Structure 1
Amino acid sequence: MISGNNIHKAYGAVQVLKGVNIDISKGEVVSIVGPSGSGKSTLLHILGTLDKPDTGAVVMNDTPISALSGRQLAAFRNKNIGFVFQFHHLLPEFSALENVCIPGWLAGRRKKEVTQQAQELLGILGVAHRLENKPNELSGGEQQRVAVARALINQPEIIFADEPTGNLDTTNARDLHQLFFDLRQRLQQTFLIVTHNEELARLSDRTLHMKDGLIV
């Protein structure tokens, strides 16, 4: 479904990725673990089209996405990829419902259709009662659920999650772990997760270990 082949990335004289190969199949929940500085987040950002490799290729469903640029790349990302980050990145001036809808509106979809889907997703994620609340009125766990709904709104092929439970307490972290697997079961959603959380890594279908810019 998505693969990276011989991915290299350097920042100045520092070689961050040193020829990484990775393949993720549809419906998998895969975790990447490793010490800080091992290249986990850099790899996630390259696979998610937020950064480009110096050499190597990223392919999703036969589309060479590492070769796309500009509007073409932005449109592909918005349609096919969802992101969940540690600090949510919700827009503070918009309600939970509006935050979820924004990627759908940017994709040019009909407003009514997107709004209805956003309401359904927020219901699935257990925060239907928070539609009109702004982010500062939500708990950390609720904010992260809104962020997950936002990532799902365009029915992406894959969701990339970078330390998604790093800002949550133990109970909310476990709830989010379960949520990922519920979504895989319900929507056949694919996840690639960078995490230091050993419990989440153990639950995953596969755990990839990174060290010094390589999967070991």
Structure 2
Amino acid sequence: MLSARGIVKSFGNLTVLKGVDLEVRTGEIVSIVGSSGAGKSTLLHILGTLDLPDRGEIRFGGVDGKQFSGSPVQVDQLRPKALAHFRNERIGFVFQFHHLLPEFSALENVCIPGWLAGKKKKAVEQRALELLDILGLADRADNKPHTLSGGEAQRVAVARALINQPSVVFADEPTGNLDSTHARELHNLFLQLRDRFQQTFVIVTHNEELARMSDRTVHMKDGLVL
């Protein structure tokens, strides 16, 4: 459902990605591992359309309902407005620091991508409450981020990533700011979401336990997939 071919990316005179190829299947949890500076986060940002490659192409399956199917869409060729719409509707993100907006409740934080997509307010709120319940946070819906534990805040971020029913969630060091107990809980949550919703995850991580729990581990070194 996701195909990257010949991805090259440079910053000034530094070439960070040197022709990366990657395939990801629907319902697969893929971990990308490697030492610092290997190009993992740069690749994730390009796959997630937060940045564009200098060369190469990224294709998703055609959009049909909740899943990608039919003719592939080369997302790196979309115009900025269409790309922003595609990203909000079809891609979810979870980062090391949850990036919740402090002035909004957990429920409102989860709802924001749905509201930005122009969906009906009540329908978005209902979906957000369902996700918070699934993630064990039904009783924390009205809490502001500063009253949540690190693990709770990261689960709110996962719910936010899922609100538009994306076909893929990209996670950049999602357990890097959590203790071992909360990290393990988040690992298990990814597995549960994959099994329940056939949710696809592409995860950059230094956490060996998370990598072992994934369906497949991709190793990077010096801007290349080994």
Q: Structure 2 length as normaliser, TM-score?
A: 0.95
- Pair 1:207-2:217 in alignment: yes
What is the number of equivalent residue pairs in this alignment? 216
Which letter does structure 1 place at the counterpart of 2:2?
I
Q: CA RMSD in A?
A: 0.4
Q: Counterpart of 2:30?
A: 30
Aligned equivalent of 2:136: 126
Is residue 155 of structure 2 the alignment partner of residue 145 of structure 1? yes
SS at match of 2:126: helix
Amino acid at match of 2:182: N
Could you tell me which residue of structure 2 aligns to residue 49 of structure 1? Answer: 49
- 2:11 corresponds to which letter in structure 1? Y
Matching residue of 1:135: 145
Q: Which moved more, 1:167-176 or 1:60-69?
A: 60-69
Question: Matches of residues 1-216 of structure 1 in structure 2 within 5 Å?
Answer: 1-61=1-61, 62-216=72-226
Question: Which stretch shifts more, 62-71 or 120-129?
Answer: 62-71
CA shift at 1:113, angstroms? 0.3
Measured in 2, the distance between the counterparts of 1:175 and 1:158 equals 20
- Structure 1: which 5+ runs fail to align? none
Rounded to whole Å, the distance in 2 between the matches of 1:186 and 1:8 is 35
Distance 2:195 2:215 in 1: 13
CA distance in 1, matches of 2:75, 2:167: 13
Structure 2 spans left out of the alignment, 5+ residues: 62-71
1:71 offset after TM fit, Å? 1.1
> Secondary structure at the residue paired with 2:59?
strand
Amino acid at match of 1:38: A
How far has the Cα of 1:69 moved from its partner? 2.6
- Distance in 2, Cα, partners of 1:3 & 1:212: 21
Given residue 87 of structure 1, which amino acid in structure 2 is its aligned partner? F
Paired amino acid for 2:199: Q
Using the aligned pairs only, state the percent identity.
68
